[in-house]
Amino acid sequence: MIHDIKKVYENTIRQGKAEGDKKEYICRIYKYLVSPKSFGVKENTYICYFEEIGINEKSSDNKNNNENKKKIGIMIDPGSNDEEIYDFLKEENIEIKYIFLTHNHPDHIAGLDNAKEKLNVPIVISRLDGENIHDKRYTMMRLFRLKELECDVDIMVEHLDEIKICDDIIFKFHLTPGHSLGSMCIEIMGTDILIVGDTVFKEGYRKNRLFRWKWYRYGKKY
């Protein structure tokens, strides 16, 4: 397989309630790619992490100090059991606090058991998809001949619920049903970032139509 971990976003953001209390972070988002010949994440798994920097830390002396600061992040949609992404987390010294699932289809959750075992952090999903995550007919794990998940989800969120990390970084969950019953988008508050999962496709209508055709063709069998 041909693997690649690609940085898709980097920006400096300021978070905090009062102007004097605001903290400055570098936000980076990486996308994990897998060869189209393999079933797995193929542009589905993301690592989003934040590294705190001082607002006035612009000198070269402070640069080395910043490199040693803790990197706190989340994993989104672990669709594969490949070890490369965990090697990346170790090399970059990223501490994952949560696993977020945009929905419960196999190319987004097939690596969930492995991720839970390695990271041992809470799994977050919408209530509508979380209640059905062990139903192989609903998740289509059976359709792709994948084994049923063993781990349980820890937190089932509702529309507009929020989770905070790093004291100041807030994620807000927007329920966007359609692709699945409980599909959701994840907003990083105070930024222009919205992680949409499969709510929006690059070639939306054509790709979604193909998906529906497959479900119609094979769904009755299962």
Structure tokens at 166: 């790093």
Helix, strand and coil percent figures for the chain, each rounded to 5:
25, 30, 40
Give the integer Cα–Cα distance in Å for 148 and 134: 7
**Under CATH, to which class is 3-219 assigned?**
alpha beta
Amino acid identity, position 208: N
Q: What is the pLDDT of residue 178?
A: 80
Q: In the chain, which stretches have pLDDT less than 50?
A: 1-2, 35-41, 56-60, 62-63, 66, 205-222
Q: What is the pLDDT of residue 34?
A: 62
Give the integer Cα–Cα distance in Å for 91 and 67: 13
Query: 7 and 32 in contact (C-beta within 8 Å)?
Result: no
Q: What is the pLDDT of residue 214?
A: 39
Q: What is the pLDDT of residue 127?
A: 95
193 three-state secondary structure: coil
Q: Write phi, then psi, for 198 (nearest 5 degrees).
A: -105, 20
